[in-house]
Amino acid sequence: MAEKKESGSGYVKKETMLIAILISLGVGFLGGATLSSFKFSAGESAPVQSVQPQVTQDNQITSDQTGKISTLEMETSLKPENVDAWIQLGNLYFDTNQFEGAIKAYKKALELAPNNPNVWTDLGVMYRRSGKPNQAIEAFDQAIKSDPSHEFSRLNKGIVLMHDLDDIQGAIKAWEELVKMNPSAKTSSGQLIKDVITGFKASEKKQ
């Protein structure tokens, strides 16, 4: 099971936070750093050749994960109002790259508790990884609506806008709103987001 980091009410998956590393592509324009594409959980980024969403489901599920999934599927079947069980099930599907299962579980959780920005953000990541960037943006917007101070949803919204929808201006706007809220906001690699924004703007002027 992936580690999670507390953020407001509940937890946002660490994989979900990892998508923020994609912003380091901005560093590519500035200094040539290679970036990683990921889900929100690992902790460290691994260089990759592409930042396209992963749409294959190459699952390597352990017997422990299989057992936990079976238990939670039974729990949600018997007690469909159990929000925590739906979230845990979604997290296990997330960890095992079962995108559609995670999406379904997170949506069920949100039907019961619609104002959880962390679950909205994890849902957005699953939409992105399943090749549905527009629905990812909608999920991140719902996270922001639920909690305007939620940083990861704003950061990830910008990443999807830039790298999946080729909307540089939209991405910059999302990140500027984040910086306005937290001037010290950084990427996972430690670079200030405001510096990344400056780099992208400078790059656009040269084009």
Domains of the chain: 4-47+63-206 (1.25.40.10)
Share of the chain above pLDDT 90, in %: 63
Task: Please report which confidence band the pLDDT of residue 19 belongs to, taking 50, 70 and 90 as the band edges.
Answer: low
Q: Decide if pLDDT at 129 tops 60.
A: yes
What's the token pair of residue 10?
């509940």
Please choose, from the candidates 49, 41, 21, 50, the residue with its C-alpha nearest in 3D space to the C-alpha of residue 196: 21
Task: Please report which confidence band the pLDDT of residue 202 belongs to, taking 50, 70 and 90 as the band edges.
Answer: confident
Q: For residues 126 and 194, what is the distance between their CA atoms, to the nearest angstrom?
A: 27
| Under 8 Å between Cβ of 92 and 1 | yes
Q: Which residue has the tokens 């299989």?
A: 66
3-state secondary structure of 46: coil
Model pLDDT for residues 135-190, shown as the tens digit of each residue: 999 999 999 999 999 999 999 999 999 999 999 999 999 999 999 999 999 887 88
Q: For residues 4 and 203, what is the distance between their CA atoms, to the nearest angstrom?
A: 35
Those residues whose C-beta lies under 8 Å from the C-beta of residue 123, and which sit 6 or more positions away, are 90, 102, 103, 106, 107, 110, 139
Q: Decide if pLDDT at 49 tops 70.
A: no
Q: Which residue has the tokens 């990683």?
A: 36
Mean pLDDT of 18-41: 36
* SS percent in the chain: helix, strand, coil, step 5: 60, 5, 35
Q: Which residue has the tokens 């959980």?
A: 41
Model pLDDT for residues 65-81, shown as the tens digit of each residue: 999 999 999 999 999 99
What is the structure's pLDDT at 161? 95
Q: For residues 8 and 23, what is the distance between their CA atoms, to the nearest angstrom?
A: 23
| Under 8 Å between Cβ of 129 and 159 | no
Q: What is the DSSP letter of 11?
A: E
Q: Decide if pLDDT at 37 tops 50.
A: no
CA dihedral 174, 180, 183, 188 (to 10 degrees): -20
